[in-house]
Amino acid sequence: MSTISNIKNWLNKPYPGPESYASEVKGMLWAGIIVFLVLYVFRPFGMGMAEGSILLMSLGFGAVTIVIGSLYSAFTLLVLKLHKDIESWQIKHWIVDTFFMIGLIGAGNFLFLLIRFDGIFTFEGLGIMLFYTLLVAIIPLVIFGLKNQLKLERKHNQDADSISEKEVNSTSEDEIIAVEAMQNYIHIYATENGILVKRTERSTLSSFLNDCGQENVIKCHRSYLVNCTAVKKVTGNAQGLKLEMAAVECPLIPVSRSYISQIKLALNQLNESN
């Protein structure tokens, strides 16, 4: 029973999805290069006996990987509005998303073969191509995907430890704690007479940051601002850092990977000055 629980806990761990479409495209470029090299160097599945140029065929499969993967990423991000750098994006979601994309790439590979050799569509042929695509993809998928998750989880825990070991500040009677963006509105968490309140205003993070006039309030995520003087504890996971605020009823504030160095610098400077 403990083994099943451990698997469930692992599947529910946060996964560090790409923070931008450019990052996804870069990842697909690397995937296409790996596919090309594996096929051209090792020539699996009888490719060495196929008609025509092995180089062109390997380049074709690599190009299919890049194009289909990039189009799929664009569709999920721009059409479905599926962001993969959020707290709820877990290893189980990454696995489902990746295998679905592999399936689309496999279908694209089959279409490429039909066009290249003027073939005839069969479900058996499609199934074989999907299987071959999975076999080629599974090794780099496990190596790079899970290695990246473990590496970032370890790094961000070390980042958190380097901050959380130092003394932190408590909130004053009246101050901004954090700000969360929700479409055209922002939720402002602040203390008034020592009590945490939540206000909602029609504004943006950029406008609020320009108008608030507090130098310790900085951006830590595309959807969050945080007051560094109100941070009580810092923890880490594969996606980035989590900030526990001194106001106990305030939710945990995420720090995305691109803002970690800025947050570390700000918190360390505050701790050194105290």
Q: What percent of the chain clears pLDDT 90, i.e. is strictly above it?
A: 68
CB atoms within 10 A of CB 61: 23
Whole-number Å distance between alpha carbons of 257 and 174: 30
| pLDDT (average), residues 163-185 | 72
Task: Report the pLDDT value the prediction gives residue 143, as an integer from 0 to 100.
Answer: 80
User: CB–CB of 125/110 below 8 Å?
Assistant: yes
Question: Coil, helix or strand for 180?
Answer: strand
User: CB–CB of 201/264 below 8 Å?
Assistant: no
Position with higher pLDDT, 167 vs 69: 69
Domains of the chain: residue spans and CATH: 2-151 (no CATH), 175-273 (2.40.50.1020)
Predicted structure pTM score: 0.85
Helix (H) or strand (E) holding 271: helix 260-273
Task: Tell me the per-residue pLDDT of 47-106, one tens digit each, with 9 for 90 and over.
Answer: 878 777 899 999 999 999 999 999 999 999 989 988 888 889 999 999 999 999 999 999
